């Protein structure tokens, strides 16, 4: 995992989803660096020269957990799609290092495999990889379409970033294998938020299950399909409200006040 650090202020860890790395996934969040330190992650498998050729949520969780340990004051964590899986596992492992947790269209499939539409969409995404393994452009477009993303790719001349993304997805560990620790997340003291794009019964169901299971608030931000971060300002406003509220609560908590008074 690599991290690109920009801006100044309280730290925010931004963890991207499948197909596009962090540099491209979080472009519309760049204006937040005026008030926050953005730690933009490139997950393992998303560098062109990466020794890791496939994305792996378990490895993501290890890397995120290690990064959280580098911030004694805590970090605001934001996970999108596949990247949300590593975020929830790391947050459950190190809750004291998390200031807040925001999940955007999380690919935490196992919380709702009992719902036929969730299973159908998940299987269709796995199918996109299997059906188009020999055609990277077709794989990228089929995968994005089935996820509900709105991007259209140049299939005959796939951009370098998507070439890397196709490699990561094609050789990756399916996110549906992850067991999501909802009880541990519910017990964690930090504020939680789940955002969805109102484009898919499957993703709405997963988001609802995550919010109910974690004790999180919900936000619905339609207009960009699965690619909710691309909405920019509406997403940024909801995230900043969460971060600001979490930091204000932390500053006035008894533990913080006692620590301040001892100095």
For 78-94, the pLDDT digits (tens) are 999 999 999 999 999 99
State the average pLDDT over residues 225-242.
98
**Can you give the residue range of the structural domain that contains 16?**
2-261
Handedness of CA 139, 144, 145, 146 (dihedral sign): positive
The structure tokens 């951009």 sit at 159
State the average pLDDT over residues 126-140.
95
**Domains contained in the chain, number:** 1
- Predicted confidence at residue 50, as pLDDT, reads 78
CATH of the domain at 219: 3.40.50.1820
Q: How far apart are the first and last CA of the chain?
A: 37
- Predicted confidence at residue 51, as pLDDT, reads 84
CB 199 within 8 A of CB 117: no
Token pair in block for residue 246: 């979490």
Give Cα separations from 206 to 192, 198, 217, 223 (angstroms): 15, 12, 14, 19
CB 198 within 8 A of CB 222: yes
pLDDT at 254 over 60: no
Q: How far is CA 79 from the centre of its chain?
A: 2
Mean of per-residue pLDDT scores for the chain: 94
Structure confidence at residue 188 as a pLDDT band (50, 70, 90): very high
Structure confidence at residue 258 as a pLDDT band (50, 70, 90): very low
- Predicted confidence at residue 263, as pLDDT, reads 29
State the average pLDDT over residues 193-215.
98
pTM beyond cutoff 0.85: yes
- Predicted confidence at residue 215, as pLDDT, reads 98
- Predicted confidence at residue 47, as pLDDT, reads 85
3-state SS of 158-223? CCHHHHHHHHHHHCCCCHHHCCCCHHHHHHCCCCEEEEECCCCHHHHHHHHHHHHHHCCEEEECCC
Integer Cα distance of 104 and 83 in angstroms: 9
Taking the CB of residue 49, how many other CB atoms lie within 10 A of it? 5
Give Cα separations from 183 to 43, 67, 190, 215 (angstroms): 26, 23, 14, 10
Structure confidence at residue 256 as a pLDDT band (50, 70, 90): very low
């Amino acid at each position: 995992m690599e991290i690109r650090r920009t801006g100044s202020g309280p730290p925010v860890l931004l963890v991207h989803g499948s197909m596009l790395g962090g540099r491209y996934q979080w472009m519309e969040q760049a204006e937040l660096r005026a008030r926050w330190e953005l730690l933009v992650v490139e997950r393992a498998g998303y560098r062109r020269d990466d020794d890791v050729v496939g994305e792996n949520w378990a490895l993501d969780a290890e890397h995120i957990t290690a990064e959280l340990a580098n911030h004694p004051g805590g970090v605001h964590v934001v996970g999108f799609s596949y990247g949300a899986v590593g975020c929830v596992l790391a947050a459950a492992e190190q809750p004291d290092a998390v200031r807040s947790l925001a999940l955007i269209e999380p690919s935490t499939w196992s919380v709702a495999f009992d719902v036929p539409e969730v299973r159908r969409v998940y299987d269709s995404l796995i199918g996109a990889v299997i059906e188009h393994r020999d055609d990277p452009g077709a794989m990228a477009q089929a995968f994005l379409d089935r996820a509900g993303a709105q991007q259209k790719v140049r299939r005959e001349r796939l951009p370098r970033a998507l070439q890397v993304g196709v490699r990561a997805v094609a050789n990756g560990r399916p996110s549906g294998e992850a067991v999501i620790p909802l009880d541990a997340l519910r017990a964690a003291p930090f504020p939680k938020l789940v955002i969805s794009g109102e484009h898919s019964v499957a993703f709405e169901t997963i988001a609802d299950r995550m919010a109910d299971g974690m004790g999180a608030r919900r936000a619905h931000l339609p207009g960009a399909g699965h690619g909710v971060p691309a909405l920019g300002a509406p997403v940024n406003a909801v995230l900043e409200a969460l971060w600001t509220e979490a930091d204000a609560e932390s500053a006035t908590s008894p533990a913080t006040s006692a620590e301040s008074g001892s100095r």
